[in-house]
Amino acid sequence: MAIAAGLAPAATGTDTGGSIRQPAAMCGITGIKPTYGRVSRWGLVAYASSLDQAGPMARTAQDCAWMLSAMAGFDPKDSTSLNQPSEDFARLLGKPMTEGRQRRAALARPAPWNAKPVFFEPDLACRGQGH
């Protein structure tokens, strides 16, 4: 990706089944698939309408949060757009997780850009746990 190579500071992408999150993780950058309705889908080519989302990709979580703050908001052209004002998504970065936020957060650490792929075999993992 251009971001990982330092050719672009940030980019937008669309995510239906991981097209922002997976490349970001494999390239060692940050990518966010926003909550459904937070970012307008107007103008996107629909593959699976209830799953399609546009979101930011950048080198850091803070850059992604700033982009998401600019992208989010109500769009009268999108019938699925939430009628909520945008917010500062970077406001909680660097602050400790609270009990309520831990339940809602799904965190992943990106792999280095040159990491070998890891293939998960559920049956072996289950056997290793005594199942």
Kindly report, residue by residue over 37-85, the tens digit of the pLDDT: 999 999 888 777 778 899 999 999 999 999 999 999 999 999 889 998 7
Q: Supply the pTM of this predicted model.
A: 0.70
> With pLDDT > 70 as the criterion, what percentage of the chain qualifies?
73
Residue 93 has a pLDDT of 85
| CA distances (Å), origin 17, targets 41, 50, 55, 61, 82 | 15, 11, 13, 21, 21
More confident residue, 103 or 14: 14
Contacts 24+ apart (CB under 8 A), 58-64: 58/3, 58/9, 58/10, 58/11, 58/29, 58/30, 59/3, 59/4, 59/9, 59/10, 59/29, 59/30, 60/30, 61/30, 61/93, 62/90, 62/93, 63/9, 63/10, 63/30, 64/10, 64/30, 64/31, 64/32
Q: Which among 30-34, 47-51, 95-99 has the top mean pLDDT?
A: 30-34
Q: Which among 38-42, 92-96, 100-104, 119-123 has the top mean pLDDT?
A: 38-42
| CA distances (Å), origin 16, targets 21, 64, 116, 118, 131 | 10, 18, 25, 22, 32
